[in-house]
Chains A and B, each alone.
Chain A
Amino acid sequence: MDKQYIIRGVQRSSFRKFIAWMIPWAGLLIFGVYAIYLCLAKGLNQTNMDNRFAFGVWIFLDLTVIALGAGAFFTGFLLYILKKKELHAVINSAVVIGFICYSGAVGVLMVDVGQPLRAWFTFWHPNVHSMLTEVTFCITCYLTVLAIEYVPVILKNRKLREIPSMLVFEHELHKLVFVLAAVGTFLSFFHQGSLGGLYGVLRGRPFAFREGIAIWPSTFFLFILSAAAVGPSFILLTTWLVSKISKKRLVKKNVLMLLGKISGALLIVYVLLKTIDTLVWINSTSPAVGFPAYEFYSRKPFGTWILFTEIVVFGLLPALVLLSGRMRAHVGLLVTAAAFACTGVALNRFVMTIQTLALPTLPFDPFLSYMPSWQEVGAFLAVIAYGVLVYSLSFRYLVLFPQERELSNG
């Protein structure tokens, strides 16, 4: 019944089936929105965060989705600036994923702050020395960029492009999309870095504190690199996932392999630098401020295994798989490696946010634990449900994978 809105030449499930798919996600979204409402109306006492665990699962979510959403900027950069034409096959999907990740993150941040009505204070009285200022500015700007990039994708909808003004606007905007890609790259570079800097500058948290170059701690660069590394992996993963769920061939295998290769190449550099950084931190930075690093790993459950898992299992291992042409050619391995890479970065963000806060600083501090409340989990799920809904709608009514039509028509 919505056939005239669906792009020609591709097969989509029946409207009934589509609704059946959307309803549970919409339900989840409604639940999450209720949780968010509670947090906004009654205050953050609805969460299990506290004065000691001032950041919780939301910040972890923000950092992770923004890292994963880096696929948008990095694919755009590769396609429009470095002219990797193959990536045209996934750029639209990347933009939508980026938009979802960033808007979700900004949405959750708005709930996370105690006084959302004052969000604009950061713009009005910016403290330019704060990493969070940089993050706030860059994320809002980049979300705007993503929204602008999303516009042509939406305007390509079959019904919308029948309207002449939409058609020409899309056409003209699309011609300038390289500017947006360049701006997006610039902004992403800084805010991905600043998100890392967010923790790296915490002098009072020796577990997170890092030395660096000029005003930027090493985590600044590591975050950029890790985000750039897993961005393509996440695009690969989502493309594969969407392909499995919709039972369609969406892109040619060479595109997935290219994404994997790029991811692998960056990941190996990241793993190398992360290892160096960790060694420097263990042997120099941390002891210099009076905290021997082994002390951090003496607290259950965060032993050294977490370091090993992050760097080797979810870092080095997927990097090697992605770099090997033979293994990359095997879709199962390719996808698993991409999933590992994404998990690795999520774990890194978890370590930076949650473990940092769990560890004591004062000599008589206890090790702290924190378990999110259902309201926090609800808001978290709302972002996921929102993402699935937006992506599902986009996938059904917009052209996310230009190659799909060709592939489905043999």
Chain B
Amino acid sequence: MTAQKNSRYGMVIDLDACTGCGACMVACAVENNIPPAPESANERTGITWMRVYKVLNGKSFPDTQAVFVPMMCQQCEHHTPCISVCPQKAVELDEESGIVAQIPVRCLGCRYCMTACPYHARYFNWWDPVWPKGMEQTLNPDVAPRMRGVVEKCNFCHGRLQAAKAKAAAEGRIEIRPEEYQPACSDACPTNAIVFGDLNDEQSEVSRMAHQKDSFRLLETLGSEPKVYFQSERPWVHHIAEQDFASPEKETVHG
């Protein structure tokens, strides 16, 4: 058997195509068995591995413009902020896929990784996971629900990758076909704003798009080499993403 080439899974999100419908958010929750919020949960205590932020251009009525920014774990590759801080190796960078994996059963719930993450992509289980009676019948059998007191985050639907690999192996293939592995969010996006694939694969659409002129990553200056790219034709979106503090515009966010 030949050595398998490592993948670097990543995304390119077309911000001009995102309508902010939220299909990705619920699809993610269904796929990953994320429970509905308890009554007292709010925007800062809920669990949304995938979260769509509505970002305004900072101008007031009637010049206001908005862009919807789907945010999830950006799968940082270099100096991954959350990996080095975890005291007990509950976060690992999977060499084969480039996915930053969170191992909830080993997590102590110290939340250090959450303070380390500049993208706020990590979520803590402030409550026990509770589904309304009977609704646990609808849980995805491939993903174990997490317990109270541990941190979790997007893992590019790692379960789907495993399933695709198992299927490929059963068919005697070493490598999986690109269409066999798509995370739930890109699968659910009605406008195909989320393009997912292997950045190492030069043929893939995602690697082609990632190198386009209007592609950018958030907080690139931190040097953490995230694998999620964004695209927009709107100059003001780039302007905000580049955090040009010299600009008088102050952005506000709803999300």
A245 interface residue per 8 A CB criterion: no
B211 interface residue per 8 A CB criterion: no
Q: Are A121 and B84 in contact (CB under 8 A)?
A: no
Interchain CA distance A362-B116 in the complex, whole Å: 13
- Interface hit among A2-10, A123-131, A273-281: A123-131
Q: Are B118 and A52 in contact (CB under 8 A)?
A: no
> Which of A122, A205, A356 contacts B87, CB < 8 Å?
A122
Residues of B100-125 at the interface with A, using a CB-CB cut-off of 8 Å, are 106-112, 114-120, 122-125
Residues in B with CB closer than 8 Å to A361 are 118-120, 219
Interchain CA distance A52-B253 in the complex, whole Å: 14
Interchain CA distance A121-B224 in the complex, whole Å: 27
Residues in B with CB closer than 8 Å to A410 are none
Interchain CA distance A136-B126 in the complex, whole Å: 23
| Nearest B residue (CB) for A44 | B126
Q: How many residues of B contact A (CB 8 A)?
A: 61
Q: Are B245 and A295 in contact (CB under 8 A)?
A: yes
Residues in B with CB closer than 8 Å to A49 are 111
Residues in B with CB closer than 8 Å to A113 are 108-111, 149
Interchain CA distance A391-B96 in the complex, whole Å: 55
| Nearest A residue (CB) for B71 | A362
B178 interface residue per 8 A CB criterion: no
Q: Are A114 and B111 in contact (CB under 8 A)?
A: yes
Q: Are B218 and A362 in contact (CB under 8 A)?
A: yes
A268 interface residue per 8 A CB criterion: no
Q: Are B55 and A364 in contact (CB under 8 A)?
A: yes
Interface centre among A51, A114, A124, A132 (most CB of B within 10 A): A51
| Nearest B residue (CB) for A131 | B85
Interface centre among A49, A201, A289, A364 (most CB of B within 10 A): A364
Q: Are A205 and B118 in contact (CB under 8 A)?
A: yes
Residues in A with CB closer than 8 Å to B87 are 122, 126-127, 130, 132-133, 136
Residues in A with CB closer than 8 Å to B65 are none
B234 interface residue per 8 A CB criterion: no
Residues in A with CB closer than 8 Å to B122 are 51, 54
> Which of A45, A51, A201, A288 contacts B85, CB < 8 Å?
A201
> Which of A198, A363, A366 contacts B112, CB < 8 Å?
A198
Q: Are B222 and A204 in contact (CB under 8 A)?
A: yes
| Nearest A residue (CB) for B84 | A129
Q: State the Cβ distance, A191 to closest chain B Cβ, in Å.
A: 13
Q: Are B115 and A114 in contact (CB under 8 A)?
A: no
Interchain CA distance A54-B106 in the complex, whole Å: 19
Q: State the Cβ distance, A129 to closest chain B Cβ, in Å.
A: 5
Q: Are A362 and B118 in contact (CB under 8 A)?
A: yes
* Number of A-B residue pairs having CB atoms within 8 Å of each other in the complex: 172
Q: State the Cβ distance, A161 to closest chain B Cβ, in Å.
A: 41
Q: Are B84 and A44 in contact (CB under 8 A)?
A: no
A247 interface residue per 8 A CB criterion: no
Q: Mark A118-158, 1 if CB is under 8 A from B, else 0.
A: 11011011110111110010000000000000000000000
| Nearest B residue (CB) for A124 | B88
Residues in A with CB closer than 8 Å to B69 are 364
B167 interface residue per 8 A CB criterion: no
A290 interface residue per 8 A CB criterion: yes
A344 interface residue per 8 A CB criterion: no
A115 interface residue per 8 A CB criterion: yes
Residues in A with CB closer than 8 Å to B224 are 203-204
A402 interface residue per 8 A CB criterion: no
> Which of B46, B53, B88, B116 contacts A205, CB < 8 Å?
B116
Q: State the Cβ distance, A84 to closest chain B Cβ, in Å.
A: 36
| Nearest A residue (CB) for B126 | A45
A212 interface residue per 8 A CB criterion: no
Q: Are A114 and B253 in contact (CB under 8 A)?
A: no
| Nearest B residue (CB) for A55 | B115
| Nearest A residue (CB) for B110 | A113
Q: Are B111 and A365 in contact (CB under 8 A)?
A: no
B243 interface residue per 8 A CB criterion: yes
Interchain CA distance A349-B223 in the complex, whole Å: 26
Residues in B with CB closer than 8 Å to A129 are 84
Q: Mark A38-65, 1 if CB is under 8 A from B, else 0.
A: 0000011100011111110000000000
With A45-B126, A130-B85, A361-B118 in contact, is A203–B79 under 8 Å at CB? yes
Apart from A45-B41, A205-B116, A291-B243, 4 more pairs, CB < 8 Å:
A114-B124, A115-B149, A203-B224, A204-B118
- 30 residue pairs of the A-B complex, CB under 8 angstroms, read A43-B127, A54-B114, A113-B108, A113-B149, A114-B107, A114-B151, A118-B108, A127-B86, A127-B89, A132-B86, A202-B115, A203-B81, A203-B118, A203-B222, A204-B117, A204-B119, A204-B222, A205-B118, A290-B220, A290-B222, A291-B243, A356-B115, A357-B115, A362-B120, A362-B219, A363-B218, A363-B219, A363-B242, A363-B251, A366-B253
